[in-house]
Structure 1
């Protein structure tokens, strides 16, 4: 049976507030726990009006207090934005608060323009070049397996599950070399999916943290009573993605019926390209598409994305998705 997890961006709706977005994230996490999902991850994004997960470790503390069993973590922390010591302290604190439940997914892409670099007081492109060394330092700060001149407290001795995130061959290669589980962001960047997974599995070197290759793949999933209803729900995220790619991001908009049909050909082609890592439809449709995607990727886990304007619709989508996979 394929494991299922949830990735949440903590979306801020048009007409909504950050407080509402955080409350909705907690409600979604409780539902995911009730339905039997394995993990609930939050992604780090900055300076975006429609995403409230920028202070990722703080959001995870909020999610942890709202739940009791489900693993919680970052999908991911963009390590170039931080120092390894800071992240060791933050996730060491999370482990102390929620023992045995913390995942730390790490990404390399700074994803930032000059304004954010100045705000973070970081040369993010230079920091990205240090990413492999920073991953090793961060892991050493928690495990103590390397003698460092300083200890992180909280941090050292924390029982954290480390993951490598990626959407290119670089992340796959590094995950294989370091013996880490690997999560691929096919939901927004599917181009290198097959090649990255093949490289990771071929070159994987077992470690004390991970004995064999372990793959998670992200896909967009919108499940509803009918295909038409699911396609309507998906249109809010489609609008956000088109706006982002057009340089005009904003809060999550309400759904629009047959939205893709209103777009120019290049935007339609972009959405069609992303659909290879998506399951949008009724329970039967979602069941078929997830099964085909698992057959293609041989993924150990699928982490489902899929932001809806109505928070209750996403909770229903999680319920139907779990039924589709296990029914």
Structure 2
């Protein structure tokens, strides 16, 4: 006969959090659910639970919302910095109003992408944010090329509308080819299969959609705005010969005529030597890859804010020795925590 009792089975796995025995609970969301809303709900539940129960406490040890918000912050900073640089650079060499319309391409392309991506099931997640951060650096290239060429035609005496049409059509093949090659490069990611590869779907959708709407804005919206006399006028040309812009304009002309032109003449004169340089660089790069000097991996290891300690003891040593070792290691960790807090003047634990 046996005495049967209903209770939890003994487990060899033990867990501590901040020096206290603990149990992990992993809260996951469905793809269509909002991480921000779930995080807020969980935090409210934890606060209510801790107020109702004494002797037991719920804490959040890891929240992926923090990582998502960090990516959003990086995207916002890059976007604002890109807008600022575009406005400053084009204002110094072309026109302030022209620079505003060129920089308008960034929010326009992203807003249009958000609408299109929502119909394709793409949400704001780590993968899609990676695609946004990746593409934001090349987003206004087509707009800058078109705007600069429109301004060049306007300087030649054409009306704003004629300058907008002629300037756009002149560089349209080159701009279209440049953006299309990037789109084609990301297109194969749409057809990858496998759990890890399908994560690249969001990246591809975001990059392709943003570049597509960027082309739309650069070819149709931007020329329409620049072909207006309020944007391009003869006063705009006269402003280039006044103030600090006069010196910038002189420097660019000197750089073009004295440096760049001589460099191009040298390249044409010694064209075979010049052509051999990129070929040599390609061969050297291929050799470094094949020789193993340049390593590559599709999913590289990224520094994370946690680490794992693996300890192996002789079989039969028992649980006591393991716990004693972990005790010493935990004590050392908290000593490091106190040292860093003291050194940086922090009022909260980093562990």
Shorter-chain TM-score category?
under 0.3
Structure number with bigger Rg? 2
More strand by share: 1
Give the structure, 1 or 2, with the largest relative contact order (CA under 8 Å, sep 6 or more): 1
TM-score, structure 1 as length reference: 0.20
TM-score, structure 2 as length reference: 0.19
